Amino acid sequence: MAAMLNVACPHCTFVMTDDGSLAGQLVSCPNCTGQLVMPSAVMGEPVYQQPAYDPGFDPGPAYADSGGGPKNSGAAAVMSFLVPGLGQIYNGDIGKGLMMIIGMVVSIVLFFFLIGFVTYFLIWLWSIYDAYNRAESINAKHRSRRMKSRGRAGY
């Protein structure tokens, strides 16, 4: 009987087993569809491989957001209530948050022309709404990723 090789996917650390027949070949991980080159060494412990270059690889929703982990949507909304744009920065949307802060400064300058009262109020409301919804979106992606990883744990 041929010795079995345990290979850990470099994208998700899912451990795959090979009898050596795939040595040197480019294979896709059954858990995350990331690609890797199967090694030819036979060892008892998992072998960690460098990922194969795949320009089309999408690691999934857990890496798609710009803010890292789950976010508190209420805290994001309160931050934007106090300082418009701060909730966006908390969510990891730094550019959007800075643009809202700049928009608020421009609106304050426009107070002299009366239009600033309208633009200030609109940017303030949009900042609160956007911060809350973006945090909810980030949390939904994390929940989806957790459910997906739990569902595939039996591979």
Residues whose CB falls within 8 Å of the CB of residue 152, separated by 6 or more in sequence, listed in order: 31
**Strand ordering across the sheet containing 15-18:** 15-18, 5-8, 47-48
Most confident of 20-34, 63-77, 103-117: 103-117
Q: Where exactly are the structural domains of the chain?
A: 1-59, 73-150
Determine whether 68 is exposed, middle or buried from the number of CB atoms within 10 Å of its CB (0-12, 13-18, 19+): exposed
- Residue with the bigger pLDDT between 151 and 132: it is 132
Residue range 117-133: mean pLDDT, rounded: 93
- Over the stretch 138-148, which tens digit does the pLDDT of each residue have? 888 877 776 66
Q: What is the dihedral of CA 90, 92, 98, 104, to 10 degrees?
A: -50
Report the candidate in 131, 105, 133, 135 with the shortest Cα–Cα distance to residue 119: 105
SS3 31: coil
The reported pLDDT for the residue numbered 146 is 67
Distance CA(139)–CA(100), nearest Å, equals 23
